[in-house]
A = this chain, B = another copy of it.
């Protein structure tokens, strides 16, 4: 099941009644949707065009048309790509390897399909002009933050990240309008990260979220929302594929950030590499 449909599936419990009706219809007849207009879908699903339009925005689409477009793209992809493989007990090693491979690859390709270039560009622009960049995340997402931190430092950007939640908030409270804060959390509901990003927002910093696709608290606090694909409901994953997808997005941000200065910066990257060699 592709990303959008599983995202709908996952959020269906949190929806309003009519939204549930619509979600149900979409899940039942995904291929149908893409040939319909919003009016027809309203009749079929028992909702109104207004509710459908709102429904699409739940998933951060610009509107119904974009929803349809992305859905069409995903459904087209589904036929020729493997679906996620669940990892179960007692697998022979060979099956584990193949399951990990397909899950990780899926995670990257699904996330790519889901990317909103405009949001991405906004995020890159914000990072580019930031005086100071704060990165928030705990546990696995904390490592993603550190990864980005290492990259930013290497190109001479002022950035910080903390594993201590108190330090995160302390740092956030010192941000200004010229600064950027990036909150990373797969679920989008990690309380420490939410607290830090909220604090950053209140101080006027530009806030960016990186979470799984859909509506969540972290996203609602962010000026700019970035998403990774949602894994299927019930998929046992242990943060593995999601982390790969997050790194994928981080890499895109980073390369986007340096691309127009690429020729200047790459030597510096090499240089900082040499520096380490020289001084160790």
Contacts and interface: CB of A to CB of B under 8 A. Distances in A.
Interface residues of A, number: 89
Contacts of A76: 72-74, 76-77, 113
A255 interface: yes
A259 B87 CA distance: 8
Interface stretch (A126-134, A185-193, A202-210): A185-193
**Could you say how many copies of this chain the assembly holds?**
2
Interface in A147-173: 147, 150-151, 154
A50 interface: no
A239 to B, nearest CB: 6
Given A74-B76, A139-B271, A244-B244, A89 B189 contact: no
B256 A93 contact: yes
B108 A101 contact: yes
Given A76-B76, A109-B105, A239 B190 contact: no
Contacts of A239: 269-272
Given A91-B259, A239-B272, 5 more contacts: A13-B280, A79-B109, A104-B248, A146-B146, A236-B262
6 cross-chain pairs, A with B, having the tightest CB-CB distances, nearest first:
A89-B262, A73-B76, A238-B269, A187-B272, A101-B112, A76-B77
